[in-house]
Amino acid sequence: MGSNFPDVAALLSDACRLYGELFAEEPPQVAVCAPGRVNLIGEHTDYNQGFVLPMALPLVTVVVGGPTSAQEVTVVTAAKDADEPRRVDFALTGDGSSLSPGLPRWANYVKGVIQHYRAPALPNFRAVVTSSVPLGGGLSSSASLEVAFYTFLQKLKPDDGEKLPKVLACQQAEHTHAAVPCGIMDQFVSVFGRERHALLIDCRSLEATPVPLADPSLVILITNSNVKHSLTGSEYPMRRRQCEQAASALGKDSLRDVTMKELEEAMERLDDVTYRRARHVIEEIERTVQAAEALKRGSYKKFGQLMVESHNSLRNLYEVSCRELDELVSAAMEVEGVFGSRMTGGGFGGCTVTLLQAQAIDKAIQHIQVNTRPC
């Protein structure tokens, strides 16, 4: 991870300083954090009940604060590139309308988490948020905010502490308050992620297998296209709908249950777009299982090959890449010592992830910088 990102201690100290300046009381009583994630492979498979292979990042969202005797909740974000008001005040009591989604948009994640929090009668509170997860960068800034906030609420008014309901509540917050019908991956890995491991998540059974990622000769490079992605537009929900339509046309509950043979046999009954969306998902689920096996065996070449296949499929069949992401992947693949590269996350901008030999890292960064057009 590049050293220009503040570490948790720096984020925490910024948050505490801002809290002191704004509320001029004692130091915050509660401080929590939750990570963003990078998905190594398995894209747009989670809402099709398939497999994903993400890892939690050292980029995190920090929330500090505590209960207040004031009549309202106040939350302030210090997230650097927020183009909206950084402060929001709302009441927890009354008809609940103050928790409806609205402006500023970032606060919808907070309101959604409060709405779906499973221990009622929260006290009013004040909180300050800082984060090193780039907003709209495809590294799950929203899931890290949801999970950090849920953890904050757990400190104010403990629930039963169960992790899976926490994941599901944060996912619900995104559905109801950010209008993104996301799968489970981002919130799941933010809660269950383990240091130096990726997680192979079966998004049907919700079982997760940690896959070690501690080889010092290996580096995972994340490159930001700086094209801001937003999944609240029509494209993400449309992809999800197209997958559901494809599964239903094939008489199955989800594309997880469809084989390539069945898809080929049904080809004439499906329009071209539906066929291509379904094909991406079916093949990507298989690729993800193979990739996890390759990683366990230390077959980085195989893993890299699967990453590139995944990117090409996301570009050509699922149509969620963009010029900037394609250029980043092509430039990375020109460097000796790079095993594979692909877009990561929902797409339409955001980041790429590249697997490479540690000794090739400087050359790779330089080559990518020189050979891609800044957006």
Q: Which residues are catalytic?
A: 186
Q: How far is the CB of 135 from ligand GAF (least distance, A)?
A: 13
Q: What's the rounded Cα separation, in Å, for the pair 275 and 30?
A: 50
Residue 355 belongs to what H/E stretch? Answer: strand 351-357
Q: How far is the CB of 193 from ligand GAF (least distance, A)?
A: 14
3-state secondary structure of 363: helix
Q: What's the rounded Cα separation, in Å, for the pair 183 and 343?
A: 18
Q: What's the rounded Cα separation, in Å, for the pair 99 and 145?
A: 16
Residue 112 as a binder of ligand GAF (CB under 6 A): the answer is no
Q: Other CB atoms closer than 10 Å to residue 52's CB: what's the count? A: 30
Residue 146 as a binder of ligand GAF (CB under 6 A): the answer is no
The Cα angle at residue 240 between residues 286 and 184, in degrees rounded to 5: 70
Phi then psi for residue 258, to 5 deg, are: -105, 135
The Cα angle at residue 339 between residues 334 and 345, in degrees rounded to 5: 95
- In the complex with ligand GAF, the residue whose CB is nearer, 185 or 368, is 185
**Contact window for ligand GAF (CB under 6 A) among 7-15, 72-80, 179-187, 298-306:** 179-187
Residue 284 as a binder of ligand GAF (CB under 6 A): the answer is no
Site string for ligand GAF, 216-255 (x = CB under 6 A): ---------------x------------------------
- In the complex with ligand GAF, the residue whose CB is nearer, 12 or 317, is 317
Residues 29-68 that bind ligand GAF (CB under 6 A): 43-44, 46-47
Q: What's the rounded Cα separation, in Å, for the pair 131 and 86?
A: 13
Q: How far is the CB of 95 from ligand GAF (least distance, A)?
A: 30
Site string for ligand GAF, 319-358 (x = CB under 6 A): --------------------------xx------------
Local structure of residue 138 (DSSP, 8 states): S
- In the complex with ligand GAF, the residue whose CB is nearer, 12 or 38, is 38
SS3 content of the chain, % helix, strand, coil (to 5): 45, 20, 35
Select the residue interacting with ligand GAF from 182, 189, 263, 368 (CB under 6 A): 182
- In the complex with ligand GAF, the residue whose CB is nearer, 345 or 349, is 345
- Whether omega for the bond prior to residue 35 falls within 30 degrees of 0, making it cis, is no
Question: Is residue 219 within 8 Å of residue 67, measured between CB atoms?
Answer: no
Q: How far is the CB of 187 from ligand GAF (least distance, A)?
A: 8
Q: What's the rounded Cα separation, in Å, for the pair 156 and 357?
A: 45
**Contact window for ligand GAF (CB under 6 A) among 106-114, 177-185, 285-293, 366-374:** 177-185
- In the complex with ligand GAF, the residue whose CB is nearer, 275 or 348, is 348
Q: How far is the CB of 244 from ligand GAF (least distance, A)?
A: 13
Q: How far is the CB of 171 from ligand GAF (least distance, A)?
A: 8
3-state secondary structure of 348: coil
Select the residue interacting with ligand GAF from 31, 125, 186, 242 (CB under 6 A): 186
* Sequence-distant (≥ 6) Cβ neighbours of residue 327 within 8 angstroms: 371, 372, 373
Residues binding ligand GAF (CB under 6 A): 43-44, 46-47, 182-183, 185-186, 231, 345-346
